[in-house]
Structure 1
Amino acid sequence: MTSTNHKHYQTVKDNSVSKEVFELLHDEDLDMLITSPQPKGTELSKYYESDDYISHTDSKRSIFEKAYHFIKNIALKNKLSLVNSLKKKGKLLDIGAGTGDFLLTAKNDGWNVIGVEPSEKARLIAAKKGIELKPVADFNDHSFDIITMWHVLEHVPDLQNQIKELKRLLKPNGAIIIAVPNFKSYDAKYYGEFWAAYDTPRHLWHFSKTAIKKLFQNENIELVKILPMKFDSFYVSLLSEKYKTGKMNFIKAFFIGLKSNWKAKEKFEYSSHIYVLKNAKN
């Protein structure tokens, strides 16, 4: 990032893979947090090498994984409804497609779909579902009606370049859908260093509403709508309880998730947000 106005915000631990400790720096100009230090290249990939990294697997070994996939199926229908509300079918790109479930849902509904996914393990699972995944550099300018990044932007090493790529790939009248955690939510403040959605160092950036608006404005892309992801407060609280206490405290997590959604109504600060963005009108 070009801004240098960074201050210490929080020290957090990688609870799921390495157990290493990282610092979160607050960029006061953009109102976002930055993970420090940020692993680079092949160094970063080792932090994803875990059977517990749930978005790269279709396994349903535990109650937690079964619950995750049950909620995911509901979320897939909601995501498709949002996409369909923006366009009457067309060409859809999903960046960070994981095991391809969202693309498969959209494909079955009549969308022309393609995706990008760095994880070889996830790509192999997606291929078995008939979902094509390619490098983003293979795509022509202004090719897509809809571009989605479901909980992916926070993982991207070169944030500014990624936003430029979204601008390049989007059709003039297309739409970008970004879903990211919100560090200003009640559950983030309640769990602090144990908040699962910090997920350092896999999450390199931690966004506020202001940060998304300003970052995309730099590429003449405007924020047109913000939607809550209400299920995320429960999922994140459950995982946060595990990190904080060593146990899956289902009842406690449920009430914290419920309280987070209730408190979010006042200033619209949910555990995660969906942002709909379009090319600014000149």
Structure 2
Amino acid sequence: MNNVPRETIKENPSIEGFSGIKVLDLKDYFLTQEDFSIHKDEKTGVLYTYPQPLNDLSRYYESENYISHTDGKKSLFEKIYQIAKQYNLDQKLKLIKESTQGKSILDYGCGAGDFLQHMQNNGYDVTGMEPNPKALEISQSKIGKENVVNCELKDINRKFDVITMWHVLEHIPNLNDILIELKQHLNPGGTLIIAVPNHLSYDANYYGKLWAAYDVPRHLWHFNPDSLQLLINNFGMKIENVSPMILDAFYVSLLSEKYKGNSLPFLKAFFVGLKSNLTAKKTGQYSSLIYTIKVEN
């Protein structure tokens, strides 16, 4: 781990109440090439990135290629991403209609605001939270400045029927604190919907340390269905349904092929993504999973 100060390296380092053994050494292949490691919490099985550069985390997002903060449609990759995004928006709307009640939605980490705009167009009362200045400006232009804020969840003085986190929970430093606050901001009978990568998927196993969904250190936490259930059990919540994000296997495989240095990554990524989804039909271990979560009575 050449780029990590020696004094910060421990045999079994603890992060915010999580403690366990190292299971993987890897790098920030997306941006800095700095070295990190991943450890497995002994109680929940949740994996966590070490070290977590929380005082300087923003610099790891400072790239024009961080696509979730933009509406880019210039490159072939960006165009494919935008097409896939529209498909996912329709699937998210369908899921929310089928599994939730009420019309008020908070999207925690709303990015460029496409999901909230889609929900607003379908009659929902929408609120977004977004810390990135560029993404905040884009999302406000779509759904209104009054509907998207840059603040802490504890500063929002209302509750919601639905709270969504689309590939956001893995980015949040204060994991235990945020789960408490999310529960407190749900109306009675409300629903928490969390989408996160699944490190037990075929594509995760295939690419190993080059699996793009590890995305250290932007991803501070790494989940699978069992570890997420054990984690949220501590907060009086339970997973009622798990559904796949089919396209994520292709997207993550494409990024992973780029990290491998493949100059023509699309074909190989397609076949790995396809194999991952076909394997997951039997195992349930898709590249990314959406968890529909309810507060236990």
**Do both proteins adopt the same fold according to a TM-score greater than 0.5, normalized to the shorter chain?**
yes
Which residue type is aligned with residue 155 of structure 2? Answer: D
1:164-187 CA deviation, whole Å, 9 max, x = no partner? 011110112000000000001010
State whether structure 2 residue 36 is matched by structure 1 residue 36: no
Q: 83-92 or 70-79: which moved more?
A: 83-92
Measured after TM superposition, the shift of residue 16 of structure 1 is 1.4
1:151 and 1:179 in contact (8 A); partners too: yes
State whether structure 2 residue 162 is matched by structure 1 residue 146: yes
**Cα pair distance change 1:68/1:248, threshold 3 Å:** farther
Helix, strand or coil at the partner of 2:57: helix
Measured after TM superposition, the shift of residue 137 of structure 1 is 2.7
State whether structure 2 residue 62 is matched by structure 1 residue 25: no
Equivalent residue number for residue 51 of structure 1: 64
State whether structure 2 residue 115 is matched by structure 1 residue 115: no
Distance (Å, rounded) in 2 between the aligned partners of 1:57 and 1:97: 12
Helix, strand or coil at the partner of 2:230: helix
Helix, strand or coil at the partner of 1:264: helix
TM-score, normalising length: structure 2: 0.91
Query: Which residue among 30, 41, 45 is the counterpart of 1:16?
Result: 30
Measured after TM superposition, the shift of residue 13 of structure 1 is 1.1
Instruction: Give unmatched runs, 5+ long, in structure 1.
Output: none
2:101 and 2:190 in contact (8 A); partners too: no
Measured after TM superposition, the shift of residue 215 of structure 1 is 1.5
Measured after TM superposition, the shift of residue 77 of structure 1 is 0.6
How many pairs align?
Answer: 278
Measured after TM superposition, the shift of residue 88 of structure 1 is 4.7
Distance (Å, rounded) in 2 between the aligned partners of 1:76 and 1:67: 14
1:229 and 1:273 in contact (8 A); partners too: yes
Helix, strand or coil at the partner of 1:245: coil
State whether structure 2 residue 277 is matched by structure 1 residue 278: no
Helix, strand or coil at the partner of 2:30: coil
Structural mapping, 1:61-76, within 5 Å: 61-76=74-89
Distance (Å, rounded) in 2 between the aligned partners of 1:178 and 1:87: 13
Distance (Å, rounded) in 2 between the aligned partners of 1:247 and 1:33: 31
Helix, strand or coil at the partner of 2:134: helix
1:89 and 1:110 in contact (8 A); partners too: no
**Cα pair distance change 1:176/1:88, threshold 3 Å:** closer
Distance (Å, rounded) in 2 between the aligned partners of 1:7 and 1:31: 10
State whether structure 2 residue 254 is matched by structure 1 residue 238: yes
Which residue type is aligned with residue 210 of structure 1? Answer: D
